[in-house]
A and B are shown apart, each in its own frame.
Chain A
Amino acid sequence: AQSVTQLDSQVPVFEEAPVELRCNYSSSVSVYLFWYVQYPNQGLQLLLKYLSGSTLVKGINGFEAEFNKSQTSFHLRKPSVHISDTAEYFCAVSVTPDDKIIFGKGTRLHILP
């Protein structure tokens, strides 16, 4: 079965520092990859996605992610975080030919003043 592993359940980081949230997936076949963000007491919204093409994907709010096929990873990065980035971040994968979408367990990003 396909799986998505988010290696850190919580990540504390100081404001204006860089951050990387890690995501690994199990499939070696064609995949679509997503990062979603959930702000406190809200639903989820898309940050960015990788379907094909350039391995570096830019998203909203200054986030970017890099698809690494050999390491089956899709880590999310931001060069300088803000207090408003406090949220839970979910990595998700959709694998052909299945039509399921598998989410990771999430990473809580805590911004320290």
Chain B
Amino acid sequence: EAQVTQNPRYLITVTGKKLTVTCSQNMNHEYMSWYRQDPGLGLRQIYYSMNVEVTDKGDVPEGYKVSRKEKRNFPLILESPSPNQTSLYFCASSFGRADTQYFGPGTRLTVL
């Protein structure tokens, strides 16, 4: 089954404790993105990747890192999480920015 998977689905952590949210897709997509969704703000793109080893900043990259060492995986790293990073995070993938994005189920992160 074609899908985007994210782990964990729910995470409660404390300020400053490094964490990684994994994202994997099995559709051989080149383009992958991370978004955060906050009430009243819609989805905001954090980082995106056009292909392996190619990543670029979206609109809200501060406090986040990503890597794209393999085509299928695009982990999101929070080196020192802060409470303002409490949010719902979605990973998405597509063949390109003109193509349909397929979204993961979301990761709800709470930073205390």
Show the binding face of A for B, using Cβ within 8 Å: 1, 6, 9, 32, 34, 36, 42-46, 49, 51, 90, 92, 94, 99-106
Contacts and interface: CB of A to CB of B under 8 A. Distances in A.
Interface of B: 31, 33, 35, 40-45, 48, 50, 56, 58-59, 90, 92, 97-98, 100-101, 103-106
A interface secondary structure, majority: strand
Contact of A105 (B42, B50, B97, B98): B42
A36 B44 CA distance: 14
Contacts of A90: 42-43
Nearest to B103: A43
Contacts of A42: 105
A34 to B, nearest CB: 8
A103 B46 CA distance: 12
B interface secondary structure, majority: strand
B53 to A, nearest CB: 15
A100 B44 CA distance: 10
Contact of A103 (B40, B43, B56, B106): B43
Q: Which 5 A-B pairs have the closest CB atoms?
A: A105-B42, A43-B103, A103-B43, A94-B97, A46-B100
Contacts of B50: 99
